[in-house]
């Protein structure tokens, strides 16, 4: 094995330069080294695309991946060289109060630790603690497994929402997270109405089981929801658009939700202060609960990624339909461009292949 590896590094312009860097090595007895086979482009990565961001310069990014184990530390028991795996990239410091009880998604050092270790999948190799490596069954492809991070984010949000059978659910945003949210809600027996502005994304939502799809550029979201929910509003609304749309979509989510209902914030906020103007008095008088959701970890005794892997292996959720494009790592800039121009390209989940 060479001591070098190929990796995509962020440059000052916010695009990527693919070059040779030092290959990662196993730093501890219970860590694993794996060769990445497929990596996915996430909405968060996309928001930083072509933006000058000194903190990310010369860094390897990416956190959705499947891989093949090539080397294990002497204390590793759960995987062996040659195993196909999905790698969970939520990793905390392992010593804080939250990591101690497996709520590592809430670790105060999460961002720093994961950026320096496992959140580096736009490369040939990755290393991480054995606990974050999950074996893939033969019939789950590497491409499908790359979407398990996305499904796990949505699963955590659904667990926090307390969703029940036959609930009326709205999903704002039909990107990968929104489509995962839709599928999990359907698998749990809810009725789902989903909103977006990209016709190809809404068509995919329909194919994945949405009861009603709404293009908010041509239809009125509120009247559609009222018709869908017998005039009450939804029991639960998941905000899955995030980013710069939040000042608009979060108040919209509240307006679509019934008295006593819940709004779950799944889409990511931008860093720093965000002003959200909304009818706070209505939110208070209607006792609408705002539930923020952050990544995923464990739910009770179960790893949320393993729950999603089990659902995928049993065919209860569909990842394959969500993968619209695939590019080799060398064409990462083209891949990002395709993901960003989704209205023209019809992109939903864009995969990068390493082989």
CA distances from residue 161 to 76, 97, 132, 158, 355 in whole angstroms, order as listed: 36, 24, 25, 5, 39
Nearer CB in complex with Zn ion: 92/175: 92
Nearer CB in complex with Zn ion: 113/319: 113
Contact status, residue 288 vs residue 237, Cβ threshold 8 Å: no
Minimum Å distance from CB 98 to Zn ion? 5
Rounded to the nearest angstrom, the gap between the alpha carbon of residue 173 and the centroid of all alpha carbons in its chain is 13
Minimum Å distance from CB 260 to Zn ion? 35
Minimum Å distance from CB 106 to Zn ion? 8
Nearer CB in complex with Zn ion: 111/280: 111
H-assigned helices in the chain: 43-47, 97-100, 110-116, 142-145, 148-161, 176-187, 199-207, 221-228, 246-256, 280-285, 304-313, 332-340, 342-345
Nearer CB in complex with Zn ion: 92/242: 92
Minimum Å distance from CB 177 to Zn ion? 24
**Distance from C-alpha of 309 to C-alpha of 235, rounded to nearest angstrom:** 27
Which chain residues interact with Zn ion by CB under 5 A?
A: 92-93, 96, 99, 107
The closest alpha carbon to 164, from 213, 235, 226, 110, belongs to 235
Minimum Å distance from CB 103 to Zn ion? 9
Name residues whose C-beta falls within 8 Å of residue 57's C-beta, 6 or more positions apart in sequence. Answer: 10, 11, 12
**Distance from C-alpha of 298 to C-alpha of 102, rounded to nearest angstrom:** 6
Minimum Å distance from CB 91 to Zn ion? 9
Nearer CB in complex with Zn ion: 110/332: 110
Nearest residue to Zn ion on Cβ basis: 107
Nearer CB in complex with Zn ion: 91/130: 91
């Amino acid at each position: 094995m060479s001591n070098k590896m190929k990796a995509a590094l962020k440059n000052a312009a916010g695009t990527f330069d693919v070059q040779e860097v030092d290959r990662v090595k196993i730093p501890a007895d219970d860590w694993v080294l794996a060769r990445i086979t497929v990596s996915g482009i996430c909405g968060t990565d996309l928001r930083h695309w072509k933006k000058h961001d000194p903190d990310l310069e010369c860094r390897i990014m990416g956190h959705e991946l499947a891989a093949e184990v090539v080397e294990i530390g002497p204390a590793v028991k759960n995987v062996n060289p040659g195993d196909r795996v999905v790698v969970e990239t939520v990793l905390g410091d392992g010593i804080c109060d939250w990591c101690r009880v497996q709520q590592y998604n809430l670790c105060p050092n999460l961002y720093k630790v994961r950026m320096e270790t496992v959140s580096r999948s736009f490369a040939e190799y990755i290393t991480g603690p054995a606990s974050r490596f999950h074996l893939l069954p033969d019939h789950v492809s590497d491409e499908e497994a790359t979407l398990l991070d996305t499904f796990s984010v949505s699963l955590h949000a659904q667990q926090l929402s307390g969703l029940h059978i036959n609930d009326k659910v709205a999903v704002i945003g039909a990107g990968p997270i929104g489509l995962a949210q839709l599928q999990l809600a359907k698998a749990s027996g809810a009725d789902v109405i989903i909103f977006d502005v990209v016709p190809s994304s809404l068509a995919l939502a329909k194919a994945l089981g949405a009861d009603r799809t709404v293009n908010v550029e041509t239809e009125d979201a509120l009247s559609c929801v009222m018709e869908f929910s017998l005039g009450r509003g939804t029991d639960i609304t998941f905000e899955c658009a995030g980013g710069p749309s939040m000042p608009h979509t979060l108040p919209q989510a509240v307006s679509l939700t019934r008295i006593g209902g819940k709004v779950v914030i799944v889409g990511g906020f931008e860093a720093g202060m965000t002003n959200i103007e909304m009818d706070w008095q209505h939110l208070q008088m209607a006792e609408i609960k705002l539930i923020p959701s952050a990544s995923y970890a464990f739910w009770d005794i179960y790893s949320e990624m393993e729950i999603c892997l089990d659902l995928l292996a049993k065919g209860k959720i569909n990842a394959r339909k969500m993968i619209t494009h695939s590019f080799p790592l060398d064409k990462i800039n083209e891949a990002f461009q395709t993901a960003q121009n989704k209205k023209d390209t019809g992109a939903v989940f864009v995969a990068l292949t390493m082989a």
